[in-house]
Amino acid sequence: MSASKTSDVPAKEGYFGPYGGQFVPEALIGALNAIAKAFEECRDNPAFNEEMAYYLANYVGRSTPIFHCANLSRELGGARICLKREDLNHLGAHKLNNTIGQILLARHMGKRRVIAETGAGSHGVAVTAAAALMGMECVIYMGEEDTRRQALNVFRMRMMGARVVPVTAGQRTLKEAVDAAIEDWIANIDETFYLLGSAVGPHPYPTVVRHFQSVISREARAQMLADEKALPDYCIACIGGGSNAIGMFAHFLDDPSVKLVAVEAAGRGLDKAGEHAATMSKGTPGVLHGFRSYLLQNDKGEAAPVHSISAGLDYPGVGPEHAMLKDLGRVQYESATDKEALDAFLALSRSEGIIPALESAHALAYAMRIAPTLGKDARILVCLSGRGDKDVQTVADLADAGQITI
């Protein structure tokens, strides 16, 4: 299989090399296969794609532009840093690209109730908005710790009609939210569509999410050729589960001149378990949430505690296609600490008047690290996967505590 063809469906129940699959209770196999069937019916259907294009243009607000950070580039010296402005989408992130596609699949299947998990809240907000648009009941599961960190997004979801369920088990973050959503799905499988937000989970979800998020790189590749008259030398995205990263990389995978870099959360440092969420740097293959991939796990094979300042990156696994791309060496997986992400967050805010999501700031941090080492003709394209409104209170609390200076 060519990893770069966004139209390709992985063989053998969604395996990307040895990763992926359907490691789920028997009760879910029928529902997953029904989603796979609906996806195959819709992905090349002109009427479905015409409706999808309508909502992407007139509801989401695509296409998103590429912006040259002239001030930041000048301050750093070296390469030109450009941003793919997914933060300019409706609701402020890349999440709606996939959510609109899956909500249309749910409607095609006759479902009237959707559930989802969320960490940073961006996916939950996107699902809630799409459910409101389509007149569907919506339940969002969110770790209690994340509801505290992302109180604004919780309120936004409730404003749009969702029932937000705080999950109090375990670390009370994204992994536990996924666990709770899967339990709901099993209990209400006939009426419910599970709208998964990242490129993780059992087949067909990694393929479905990659397909809908690949609009990012389809636009970006054409825009770079039109605006910069060249492809980027580096294409960089943050990675937790991996949806914005696989969307940003999909249409560059066949361009060997483009170095693809995914940046995960090094948290407080890579030297201590539980203080980071660097799955690719420190993880090993295993099974979590219905799929096989790289995981952060203990010696019993259980998901290990993780940490990141960004609620959307504190997940102990990563999408199976990313695991394959790591093994193939096509994508380079790096990490940035909480401090580096905060520094990048403030640098972009002050130099360009653009406040990035803390997730996106990890990708920017790596771009800022390498830009001074490259020539002025080099081009770095960063996926600015979301805006930072949701993270301002987190940063303000750190400033109030004297941990950073604003």
What's the pLDDT tens digit per position in 218-266? 999 999 999 999 999 999 999 999 999 999 999 999 999 999 999 999 9
Instruction: Indicate if 85 and 45 belong to the same structural domain.
Output: no
The torsion of the CA quartet 370, 374, 377, 381, rounded to 10 degrees, works out to: -20
Question: How do beta strands 331-337 and 66-68 pair?
Answer: unpaired
Instruction: Indicate if 151 and 115 belong to the same structural domain.
Output: yes
Exposed/middle/buried for 11, CB within 10 Å: 0-12, 13-18, 19+? exposed
187-192: which pairs have CB atoms within 8 A and are 24 or more residues apart? 188/113, 188/115, 189/27, 189/28, 189/30, 189/31, 191/111, 191/112, 191/113, 192/111, 192/113, 192/114, 192/115
Asked, for residue 2, whether it belongs to a domain, the answer is no
Asked, for residue 1, whether it belongs to a domain, the answer is no
From 94, 211, 322, 362, active-site residue: 94
Instruction: Indicate if 75 and 144 belong to the same structural domain.
Output: no
Asked, for residue 313, whether it belongs to a domain, the answer is yes
The residue segments making up the domain with residue 303 are 62-92+214-400
Residue 309 pLDDT > 70: yes
Q: Confirm whether 42 is a catalytic residue.
A: no
Asked, for residue 360, whether it belongs to a domain, the answer is yes
- Tokens at residue 175, please? 């992994």
Residue 5 pLDDT > 50: no
Asked, for residue 364, whether it belongs to a domain, the answer is yes
Q: Confirm whether 276 is a catalytic residue.
A: no
Residues 6+ apart with CB under 8 A from 111: 136, 191, 192, 193
Instruction: Indicate if 318 and 370 belong to the same structural domain.
Output: yes
Asked, for residue 363, whether it belongs to a domain, the answer is yes
Question: What is the value of pTM for the model shown?
Answer: 0.94
Instruction: Indicate if 175 and 301 belong to the same structural domain.
Output: no
Q: What is the CATH number of the domain that holds 80?
A: 3.40.50.1100
Residue 69 pLDDT > 90: yes
Q: Is 287 helix (H, G, I), strand (E, B) or coil?
A: strand
Domain count, the chain: 2
Other C-beta atoms closer than 10 Å to the C-beta of 186 total: 15
pLDDT at 390: 87
Instruction: Indicate if 53 and 152 belong to the same structural domain.
Output: yes
Of 274-283, 302-311, 316-325, 341-350, the least confident: 302-311
What is the tens place of the pLDDT at every residue in 358-384? Answer: 999 999 999 999 999 999 999 999 999
Residue type, 82: C
Residues 6+ apart with CB under 8 A from 44: none
Instruction: Indicate if 128 and 258 belong to the same structural domain.
Output: no
Exposed/middle/buried for 223, CB within 10 Å: 0-12, 13-18, 19+? middle
Instruction: Indicate if 38 and 113 belong to the same structural domain.
Output: yes
Phi and psi based region of residue 246 (left: phi greater than 0; alpha: psi -120 to 50; beta: remaining)? alpha
From 42, 69, 235, 383, active-site residue: 69
Asked, for residue 299, whether it belongs to a domain, the answer is yes
Average pLDDT over the chain, rounded to an integer = 94
Residue 245 to residue 33: CA distance in whole angstroms: 26
Asked, for residue 3, whether it belongs to a domain, the answer is no
Domain edge (last residue) among 209, 240, 273 = 209
Domain edge (last residue) among 189, 209, 229 = 209
Domain edge (last residue) among 143, 177, 209 = 209
Residue 125 pLDDT > 50: yes
- Tokens at residue 198, please? 């990242």
Other C-beta atoms closer than 10 Å to the C-beta of 57 total: 11
